[in-house]
Structure 1
Amino acid sequence: MSIVLDCPTQGAMRFRCAQAGCPACLDALLREHSGLVYWMVMHQAGRKTAYADLLQAGRIGLWRAILHYEVGRGAAFSTYACVAIRHQVWQLLKQEQKAEGWLEELEREDALDRVVRVWQQNQIQEALEEELALLPHRLQQVIERHYGLRGAVPQNLAEIGRAWGVTRERIRQLHEQALGLLRLPAFSIRLRGLCERGECSHYRATLRQYRSWQRARRRRA
C-alpha cells in the first residue's frame, strides 16, 4: 500500500478524500482549520487543565469533525467543527473535574480520619487515666513506673524494687495485682468500649482470668 504524500484534490472534495483514507488530504485539512482549535482552547484559559492537554483534545475534536463532516448538508464546516472541538474539550474538562473532586474527597476523608484518630487517642488516654486513678496508690505507681506513664521513665521490675527497697518478686506481685484489677469491667468499661473490646464475652473472659489469679494467689499464701 502506497502512502500519498500529496494529493491534487481541492475544495470540499478534500473531506471525502480524507474520509476515504487519504493522509495528505487529512493533514491538509487539519492544518487549514487548526485556527479553530486555538480559538476554542483560548476561551478555556485560566482553567487548571494544562494548555497542551486542551490543545490535544481540540485537535482530536477537529480530526473527528473532518472524518464525519457531510459535504452539502448545509452547515458550514467551521460551525460543525467548533461543536465537535468544544465537545472534546469539555469532555476533558469534565474528566479532570471528576478526578479533582475524587482527590479532594480523598483528602477530606484523610483529614477526617486524622481528626478521628487524634480524638480517639485522647479519649483512650483519658480513660486510662481514669482507670489508674481507681487503683490503690502503690499499684498506680508500679504501673506508671513500669510502663513510663505520666512522663515517667520506664523501669523494669527489679529497678522499681531497688528504688523501694523490696524484692523484684514483690514488685511482680503488685504488678500482677494491678493488671488484674485493670482488666475488671468495673475499672475498664470505658476503655474497652473505645478499643472495641466491650462485648459480654470479653467481660466474662476477664472475670474468669481474674478469679483464676485470685485462686492461685490464695494457694501460694
Structure 2
Amino acid sequence: MADGLPDPEPTGAEWPSASPNPTIIPDPNPSTASLAAWATRLSPKLDIPAVAIQAYGSAELKLAQTRPSCHLAWTTLAGLGGIESNHGRTGGTTLNPDGNTSKPIWGIPLDGTNNTQVIKDTDQGQQDLDRVYDRAMGPMQFIPTTWKTWGADGNGDGDVNPHNIFDAALAAGNYLCSGTRDLSNPADWQNAVLSYNAVQIYLRDVFVKADAYGKLSY
C-alpha cells in the first residue's frame, strides 16, 4: 500500500545478500515517555503514525529480552506494517492513542480469488466475522488460526486484540522469530518474511520499506 516513500528496485549490492538497514533504538531501556518521544520525533520523517512506531519499537525491545538471538529490528515490523495496512491507515482507518484501530481492518475473503489461497472458515466467524472463509485481521493482517497461535498482549492491558497495533506488532515479532531464526542473517530474514507471505514481490517490497525506514531514521 502507498505510504509516500520511494520504492526503488533493490540493487544487487543490497539484495538479496543483506538484511534491511536496521536502526537501533537509542535507549535499550526507555521509559514509556521516552519511547513515545522517540516515535514522535521519527513520525514526520517516515510518514508513520507515532503510535505505530512506538508499537514497533516496543516489540523490538520485548523480543530483545525474550528472544535476544533473533535480533529483530523494529524497521522490519514497520516494513510489514506498511505493506499490510499502511500502518493502520488503510481504507480511511486511523490509530487511536491506545493503539486500537478506529474501525476494524478486514482482509478480503480467502476464497481463492484475487490471487489468494482458499482458507475455509476456521473460527466460526468469531474473530473475523466470516463464517464461510477466513479473513486477515488488524493492522498486521493475521488470519484467525495464526492469531490463535501467536496473538500477544503488547501493551499490557490484559487483552489480546488483533486490532491493536501494540498487540499485533508483538505477535508479528514472535512469529518472525519462531524457531532458531536470526534476523541479522539475510537468509533467515528472507525466510521469516516469506513465512508471513510466500510471494517474492512481497519480500522485495518489505525489504525496500524496511531498508528505507532504517536509512531515514538516522
Q: Which has the higher contact order (CA 8 A, sep 6+)?
A: 2
The TM-score range, normalised by the shorter chain, is: under 0.3
Give the structure with the larger helix fraction.
1
Q: Which has the larger radius of gyration?
A: 1
User: TM-score under structure 1 normalisation?
Assistant: 0.26
User: TM-score under structure 2 normalisation?
Assistant: 0.26
